[in-house]
Amino acid sequence: MSKKKKSGRPHQSFYAKHEAVILGSLSIVIIIGIWQACWSAGMISPLFFSSPSAIVKQFRYTLVEGTLLADMKYSGTNFAIGFVLAVITGVIAGVLIGWYRRLRLFCDPFLNAFYATPRIAMVPLIIIWFGIGIWSKVFIVFLSAFFPILVNTVGGVRALDRDLLRAAKAYCASDWQIFKTLAIPGSVPFILTGIRQGVALGLIGMVVGEMVGSSQGVGFMVAYGGQTFNTDTLFVGMIVIAFSGILLTWLAERLERRFSRWRPER
C-alpha cells in the first residue's frame, strides 16, 4: 500500500519537490545582492540605510563584544514571563467568563473597553506604576497577550456545538460533564488561535515597552541605534526582532495545526 502511494508521483524532480524553498531563497538572495551592489556603488547613504555586509559585521561585533546576547536574554525573559502569565490567566479567566453567563455580563463592559483601547496607549502609565525595571515590560507583554487569549477562549467555550450539546443531554450528561467533555475540548482550537495572536501582540508590547522605558533589551537597542544615528545597530535589532517573530508565530501555528487535527477544514 505505502509503496504504491510513494510511486504515485514518480518522476518528480528535485526542483519540483522543493519549488517553494528554491524560489523563496532565490528572491532573498537576489534582493540582498541588489542591495549590496547599490551600497557598494555608493548609491545609499550610510546615515539612512545600511548594507548586508555592514549588518553582518555589526551583528558579529555586538554579539561578540557588544551587548546583543545580554539584550536578547533580557527581552526574552520579559517576554517569556509576561506571555506565560497571559496564557495561564487568559485561559482560566476565559473559560470562567465563557461558561458563567452572569460573570460574562458582569465583565462585558470592562472587557469591551479594554479590548477596544490599544494597549500601547497604556505603556506610559504602566511605566509610572512599575518603574523602568523588568516588571513594567513584563506587564506590558502580559497585557498585550492577555486580551486576544481571553477573548478567543471565551468565544471557544461559548461556541458549544448545539448538536453535540443535545446528544450529551440525551445521555443525561451533567453540567460538569458537558463542561469537561464538550466546552473544554471544543475550545482548544480557539485558545490556540488566541495564543498565536497573543504571540504577535506580546512581541509588539515587548518592543514598545523597551523603546519607551528601558535601558536594555532588543527594543532599546533599536531605539538607541536610531537616536545615535547608528543605522547598522538599528538594523541588527530589527532583524533579531523579525526573526523572533517569525519563529514564535511559526511555532504557534504548528501547535495550532497539531491540535486541530480533527478539524477537517483547517
Which CB sits closer to another protein, 11 or 261? 261
Taking the complex as a whole, how short is the minimal distance between the CB of residue 258 and another protein, in angstroms? 13
Question: 97, 104 in Cβ contact below 8 A?
Answer: yes
Contacts 24+ apart (CB under 8 A), 64-68: 67/216, 67/221, 68/221, 68/236, 68/240
Q: 214 φ, ψ to 5°?
A: -160, 160
Pick from 17, 101, 169, 257 the residue near another protein by CB under 8 A: 169
What is the enclosing helix (H) or strand (E) of 28?
Answer: helix 19-40
Cα 71 to Cα 221: distance, rounded to the nearest angstrom: 8
Which CB sits closer to another protein, 73 or 158? 158
Cα 216 to Cα 68: distance, rounded to the nearest angstrom: 10
Which CB sits closer to another protein, 167 or 247? 167
Strands, DSSP E only, in 136-207? none
Taking the complex as a whole, how short is the minimal distance between the CB of residue 171 and another protein, in angstroms? 4
Which CB sits closer to another protein, 4 or 261? 261
Applying CB under 8 A, the span of 46-54, 139-147, 165-173, 198-206 interacting with another protein comes to 165-173
Taking the complex as a whole, how short is the minimal distance between the CB of residue 224 and another protein, in angstroms? 48
Taking the complex as a whole, how short is the minimal distance between the CB of residue 185 and another protein, in angstroms? 5
Taking the complex as a whole, how short is the minimal distance between the CB of residue 89 and another protein, in angstroms? 24
Pick from 23, 31, 167, 255 the residue near another protein by CB under 8 A: 167
Binding to another protein in span 171-230, by CB under 8 A = 171-173, 177, 181-182, 185-186, 188
Binding to another protein in span 104-163, by CB under 8 A = 161, 163
Taking the complex as a whole, how short is the minimal distance between the CB of residue 169 and another protein, in angstroms? 6
Which CB sits closer to another protein, 25 or 177? 177
Taking the complex as a whole, how short is the minimal distance between the CB of residue 135 and another protein, in angstroms? 38
Longest dimension (CA), the chain: 78
If one asks whether residue 261 binds another protein (CB under 8 A), the answer comes out as: yes
Q: How far apart are the first and last CA of the chain?
A: 26
Which CB sits closer to another protein, 9 or 166? 166
Q: 253 φ, ψ to 5°?
A: -65, -40
Which CB sits closer to another protein, 118 or 185? 185
Q: Which of 83, 75, 44 is nearest to 222 (CA)?
A: 75
Residue with cell 509576561: 82
Cα 74 to Cα 97: distance, rounded to the nearest angstrom: 34
Q: CA torsion, points 104, 107, 113, 114, in degrees to nearest 10?
A: -100
Task: Quote the cell numbers at residue 6.
Answer: 510513494
Which residues bind to another protein, rule: CB under 8 A? 161, 163-164, 166-173, 177, 181-182, 185-186, 188, 261-264
